Amino acid sequence: MQTLPKERRYETLSYLPPLTDVQIEKQVQYILSQGYIPGVEFNEVSEPTEFYWTMWKLPLFGAKTSREVLAEVQSCRSQYPTHYIRVVGFDNIKQCQVLSFIVHKPNRY
């Protein structure tokens, strides 16, 4: 059994090894297949008490493929390399965010 190195955990998927771009693409495809609206957010810190993140542009209402969302993630990564970046899924029926996961953690430690 392998134990992950001791580091701060942020959200549900942070207990897994870091996601590859292919795995992120599959997660984004799940968001789209469920009819959720994807969005990209970023913030300087990722504390459990930090509820409000800055949106990268507007939610991607017209996104049909995961490649469109990943292009926005990459743009956000290049603009804010020292910030945490996450992908979120909004449910337009429930009018709320139903899932989120971090796709970029800065190298601070």
Tell me if the pTM is above 0.85.
Answer: no
- Supply the CATH number for residue 50's domain: 3.30.190.10
In a domain, 5, yes or no: no
In a domain, 14, yes or no: no
Is residue 51 over pLDDT 70?
A: yes
Query: pLDDT by residue (tens digit) across 52-66?
Result: 899 999 999 999 999
Q: What percent of the chain has pLDDT over 70?
A: 82
In a domain, 95, yes or no: yes
Q: Tell me if 39 sits within 8 A of 55, measured CB to CB.
A: yes
Query: Taking Cα atoms as reference points, which of 45, 43, 68 lies closest to residue 56?
Result: 43
SS3 sequence of 11-77: CHHHHCCCCCHHHHHHHHHHHHHCCCEEEEEEECCCCCCCCCCEECCCCCCCCCCHHHHHHHHHHHH
Structural domain count, the chain: 1
In a domain, 30, yes or no: yes
Torsion of CA 19, 21, 24, 29, to 10 degrees: -160
| Both tokens assigned to 6 | 């001791």
